[in-house]
Amino acid sequence: MTGNLLLDGAAMSVSIFNIILLTWLGLTVLFNSDRRAWGIWLGGLGLLMGGAFFVSHSALLNLGLIRLGWNVVFWWAVGLVPAITLPFLWYLVVLWYAGFWEERPSGLHRRQRGWFALMLLLAGAGLGGLALGIFLLLTPPWQFVQMRLFLRWSVLGVPMLVLGYSLYVMLCIGLSLDALGRPGPARRVMGDMARQRARPWFTAVSLTLLIVGLLTIGVMGWIVQDARHRPFYDIIGANMTLIASLDLIIASLIGVSVTLLGQAVVSYEVFTGKTLPRRGLWRHWRRAVFLAAGYSLLVGGSMFLDLRPIYSLLLTALLIAFFYALFSWRSYQERERTIDSLRPFLTSQRLYEQLLTQADLSAVDITAPFHALCANVLDARMAYLTAVGPLAPLVGPPLVYPPTHQPALPPLADITNQLQNPQTPIPLDPDQHGGVVWAVPLWSERGLIGLFLLGRKWGNGLYTQEEIDVARVSGERLIDTKASAEMARRLMDLQRERLASTQIIDQQTRRVLHDDILPEIQMAIITLGSQTVHNDVVGEAVHTLTRAHKQISNLLRDMPTTKAPEVARLGLVEALQQAVDQEFAQAFDEVVWQVTETAVTQAKTIPTLTAEVIFYAAREVVRNAAKYGRGEKGAMERPLRLTIAITWDKGLRVQIEDNGVGLTDGGGTAVATPQGSGHGLALHTTMMAVIGGELAVASIPGQLTRVVLSLPL
């Protein structure tokens, strides 16, 4: 310590700042990276060694250099090991990132392989010299006598220690700049683009480290040269303030380089092996910088004010509580902001209402959430969402953002041929693909269903991993929504056509049977009736014709007479009452209606298609009761009563109950009766589900069958 409280506090603040950031970066790289890449391990280890160096630096700032003891020697050893190895580690990491080992031979490999061997030799010599120096320091007497003899070794009057370390540091930084300027081939996805974007940050770090190296070499050369003539104690005692000021400048420059390196790590994932940066990592890095700055200022301020340790401890506790509360608050704010940005996409599109009230392809609109996704979440200049494969005819033409942009889709076949991993987006050349830089594949259980094509972001930033994931999930959801809604619409239209065709055929059949066939049979019976006494064959023919006449009459009675337009004109309740009275009046001994006025009024507000689905489902239930309620043999002696209750309570509820023989298993499900297949109820159950309703069946064998049709509000 120099005794200058301001200088000592500033030096300690910068040292603590560097400790926190270097340790955070090192652990973050190791925790979030691909463990199989040895270059990533080197990068994380180098960052942690930098943190260890400043731990040693902080300890030496507190202990001072006037008195030499075991603790001072220990911290010197802890600090000098990173000081020697870190330049070489930086050189190794830059070589790895620039592709030195990815392809051989390459221009980078040919240029650097000889220098790499030399730097490896110099790093080993430096560590050996450090071990020798520590040995001399630990050998009595501890007055730097042996160390001074070691420092006398020189070349042309320049101490060998200064010359070797200077050459070592300058070569490490210079060769790193060469590798960054002319990198090798990249195997990593988007490797070339990532290098181009990260190169300014890496170059800035290297240039800052170059300045640090020059200052360190200058200070070291001055001290070592002076140490050849007088002890270290005299040098340090006479120049304590100057040495401390130079140390503060060097540590501050290292802090700048650490900040620049951290920016490259979190913005471009240079050490984690990820294809795209992650927004969450950037936010945590920003908080780590604020925490490091705040805590280092607190430590430096306590030293400047010469506070007692207990007060420093209390301030530290308060600072931790403040930053934790701030972190929690910001987390909630970011969560709310994310939800607000996704709200147009997450808001219900009222698919049922649109499906039941419109019949064109634009009934379900996914354009608005797509535009909100591109503008508010992805911040994209342009984007396309297109379906491929079997869903393409259902989804329709591609969605384009912005709406004024003229669609110029790149060839989709060229893109789909490059797909390998469902989770991996494909980088594209914007010049060859109409400005598209990313192709995000959209998958489902059926395979590839679409592509989300993204242009450049506003500000030319990189898409984060979270944004690509949101684009993938959202695109899959939009395509599935549109395809499912269109499929349901087509099924509804098909069902309506089927019902209309059935009605037409029924009416035609009724007319032909009633107006043409039955009169002719009646005429034949009358004509042959007078001859039955004398001719048994004729009598048998008359008997057969009579049975056929009766069967056709019964068939006409069972055939529907109420048409779908009656539902729209009369309303659901009145149309159902008319159908039961006209078609099934003779099938039941008693029909009991329990209808509330509210149900009649509210049922008229139901969309026509929805009302038709409920009408035909109810009619199918009544028909089943009329046909099978008395049992297999249709025993007429069994009285059959039908009760229909229609109520409205947060939705429509139609309960149809008969006191017939019930279903065969009594399990409360739409199973086949002995006479029927059960396919009718199964179809209407599906149709009720399509409109958002439910058809539930309950039965007690020999007592009753109850069917409830419900449509929530």
- 94 token code pair: 């830059």
Q: What is the pLDDT of residue 20?
A: 92
Distance CA 22, CA 45 (A): 10
Q: Locate 500 and state its tokens.
A: 């209309």
Report the pLDDT value the prediction gives residue 674, as an integer from 0 to 100. 43
Structure tokens at 77: 């050893």
User: Out of 272-276, 477-481, 565-569, 661-665, which region has the weakest mean confidence (pLDDT)?
Assistant: 272-276
Mean pLDDT confidence for 433-457: 83
Flag whether pLDDT at 656 surpasses 90.
yes
Per-residue confidence (pLDDT) for residue 672, from 0 to 100: 40
Note the pLDDT tens digit of each residue in 659-708.
Answer: 888 876 433 333 444 445 556 677 778 778 777 788 889 888 888 899 99
Joined tokens for residue 398: 């591609």
- DSSP secondary structure code for residue 561 in this structure: -
593 or 447, which is more confident? Answer: 593
pLDDT at 170 over 60: yes
pLDDT for 669 equals 37
Going 233 to 239 to 240 to 245, the CA torsion angle's sign is negative
Structural contact between residues 661 and 631, judged by C-beta atoms closer than 8 angstroms: yes
pLDDT at residue number 88? 87
The pLDDT score that the predictor gives to residue 560 is: 56
The DSSP secondary-structure symbol of 305 reads: T
Measure the CA–CA gap between 659 and 668, rounded to whole angstroms.
15
What one-character-per-residue DSSP string does 440-492 give?
EEEEETTEEEEEEEEEPBTTSPPPPHHHHHHHHHHHHHHHHHHHHHHHHHHHH
Percent of the chain clearing pLDDT 90 (strictly above): 5
- The total number of residues written for the chain in this structure: 713
Give the residue-averaged pLDDT of 83-105: 80
If one looks up domain 566-712 in CATH, what number appears? 3.30.565.10
Tell me if residue 579 falls in helix, strand or coil.
helix
Asked if 27 and 48 touch (Cβ cutoff 8 Å), the reply is: yes
- Which residue in the block uniquely carries the two structure tokens 């309303």? 571
In this predicted structure, what is the pLDDT of residue 706? 92
pLDDT at 651 over 80: yes
User: Of 182-196, 259-273, 502-516, which has the strongest mean pLDDT?
Assistant: 259-273
Regarding predicted confidence, which is higher, 194 or 644? 644
The conformation of residue 69, written as its DSSP 8-state character, comes to -
Lowest mean per-residue pLDDT among 466-470, 508-512, 584-588, 625-629: 508-512
> Higher model confidence: residue 614 or residue 487?
614
Is there a contact between 173 and 89 (Cβ–Cβ < 8 Å)?
no
Q: Which residues of 476-487 are buried (b: 16+ CB within 10 A; e: fewer)?
A: bebbbbbbebbe
Across 216-230, 363-377, 470-484, the highest mean pLDDT is recorded for 470-484
Rounded to whole angstroms, the Cα distance separating 2 from 523 reads 131
The answer, yes or no, to whether residue 551 has pLDDT greater than 80, is no
Q: 181: pLDDT confidence band, cut at 50, 70 and 90? A: confident
Q: Which two tokens stand for residue 203?
A: 């170059």
Class of domain 352-483: alpha beta
Q: Which residue has the tokens 């081939």?
A: 185
The whole-number average pLDDT for the span 504-514 is 67
Average pLDDT over residues 521-536: 68
Distance CA(126)–CA(683), nearest Å, equals 84
For 390-444, what is each residue's pLDDT tens digit? 778 778 888 888 887 666 677 777 777 777 666 678 878 787 777 888 888 888 7
Q: What is the mean pLDDT of residues 471-493?
A: 81
pTM for the full predicted model: 0.56
Instruction: Give the mean pLDDT of the chain.
Output: 76
- Is the pLDDT at 467 greater than 50? The verdict is yes
pLDDT at residue 276 is higher than 70: no
Structure tokens given for 218: 């200058």
Phi-psi region of 538 (alpha: psi -120 to 50; beta: other; left: phi over 0): alpha
**230 compared with 696, residue with greater pLDDT:** 696
Stronger pLDDT, 268 or 173, i.e. the higher one: 173
* pLDDT given for residue 346 in this prediction: 60
Residue 583's pLDDT is 79
Of 410, 446, 444, which Cα lies nearest the Cα of 430?
Answer: 410
**Residue 709 bridge partners (DSSP):** 654, 695
User: Strand pairing of 158-159 and 154-155?
Assistant: antiparallel
pLDDT tens for 307-353 read: 787 887 888 888 888 888 887 887 777 777 767 766 666 666 566 56
